[in-house]
Amino acid sequence: MTQVTTHASVDTAVNQAAEAAPYWAESSVSTRAALLRGLAEALEAHKADLVAIADEESHLGSARLTGEIARSAFQLRGFAEHLEAGAAHKRVVDEAIAGAPPAGRPQLTRVLRPVGPVAMFSASNFPFAFSVLGGDTASALAAGCPVVVKAHSGHPRLSKAVFDLARQVVLAQQLPEGLLTLIEGASRGSGGYLVQHPEIKAVAFTGSYQGGTALWRLANERPVPIPFFGELGSINPLVALPEALEADSQNLANTLAGSITMGCGQFCTSPGVIVVLKGGSTEQFISQLGDALKPIQTHAMLTPSMREGFEHASSVVAEHAKTQLVGTAGPGPAPRLYRTDAIAFIASSQLREEMFGPAAVIVEASSLTEVEQVLGAIGGTLTTTLWGASDDTPANRSLVRAAERVSGRVLFKGVPTGVAVCAAQNHGGPWPSSTAPQTTSVGYASLERFLRPVALQDAPAWAQA
């Protein structure tokens, strides 16, 4: 549990996790649940100090960060409750049937076993919820896997402070120190070394497409490849049909403006593409959206490099679309809208690049068929929002199917920013939004990533526990 900056110290952290793995894999539900609840209590008990550090490093504001601590504590306790309900110990039993196959069979019991030490790469934009004690750590610990946390360079002091609190909880409960280790200040090379360490059995990553795919390749190039659960970003199209705009365009514009600029647009679920059908209600909506964005001043972005990346991505989009700057720059960049048509959007991959910041592209389509073609051109995305697709019509059914093909979550109301932590949640999607589209990184099903099924044949009762 010491600061890690070299390959040798990465070895130390991972080896500690490997030593703790057999104990934690065999640990009882009550032991795991007690740890998860203890970690939640530690976060809440030191909330004020942690929020102050986080705000200094991230500029996200005390209200947002306080809410993020509440979410982190909530999901830690939620995983404890789901453990107690049997989530990590589900069994499927097929009793033996006498006779020859295919009717006859031996007794088979399908059980779930922890995969082993998990490398978790913290995200920049959620200093609590996707960091040291965020959802990936909580789900892996719940599954029975030790976690090696790669701290993010955007909030190093906070990462160390949260880790120190977690360490105290682990020691107070007389658990192995290797259950949670921290890598601080590691270079890209050290991150790659961590992914390829032979004792690491899975990786959880939330971050950029470029960084994620580089690590994903390393995970697959190992002598023994391992699962890489990467969430790589998304442009989250929002389709605003005339039916919705004619009913409530002003409130929808206000809601959308808040979603585009929330957290200075640094959400993986920020709506980056607004798809509309040409017409009078659409023109009014676009004007209202611009007006709603004008008074919003964004806060500083998480890091200077993130600001540079946003400005570069915006400039690329600006070369291929009509630009409409709205508002004025405050501590952060001014919100901006870009406008193009469906034909140009489908033809130009540059218009489909993620702008990780307070910006969106408005795409005007001439028909619902073109709307579906726009969704198809976007490809994999975490979310698609469909405003106005409430009625059961053939056209709406076709649109929903198109959205489901490219998305991990389809919304019919509201905006995609804000991801509920619950059993039914799915935070993932087809490539390139996720490297493992059959899994989720948010919600209680996320612990299934770190469990491996094993079928036990004609096993004694003690082996089936």
| Whether residue 184 lies in the annotated active site | no
Q: Find, among 314, 315, 361, the residue nearest to 337 by Cα.
A: 361
Burial 34-59 (b: 16+ CB within 10 A, else e): bbbbbbbebbeebbeebbebbbebbb
- Residues 188 and 145: their CA atoms lie apart, in Å, by 24
Which two structure tokens, joined as six digits, stand for 306?
């993130």
- Residues 158 and 140: their CA atoms lie apart, in Å, by 21
Mark residue 379 as left, alpha or beta (left: phi above 0; alpha: psi -120 to 50; beta: remaining). left
Q: Find, among 452, 425, 421, the residue nearest to 76 by Cα.
A: 421
| Whether residue 68 lies in the annotated active site | no
DSSP β-bridge partners for residue 2:
none
Beta-carbon contacts of 72 under 8 Å, excluding residues fewer than 6 positions away, are 40, 43, 128, 129, 133, 134, 135, 138
**Side chain identity at 437, as an amino acid letter?**
P
- Choosing from 184, 268, 353, 448, the catalytic residue is 268
- Choosing from 57, 68, 231, 370, the catalytic residue is 231
Residue 107 three-state SS: coil
Query: How far is CA 383 from each of CA 86, 261, 273, 436, rounded to the nearest angstrom?
Result: 30, 17, 11, 15
Yes or no: say if 129 and 231 are a contact pair by the CB < 8 Å rule: no
Cα-Cα-Cα-Cα torsion 97, 98, 104, 110, nearest 10 degrees, comes to 40
- Residues 91 and 111: their CA atoms lie apart, in Å, by 5
Which two structure tokens, joined as six digits, stand for 256?
């959308």
The CB-side HSE value for 452 (13 A sphere, CA atoms) comes to 11
User: What are the residue numbers of the active site?
Assistant: 231, 268
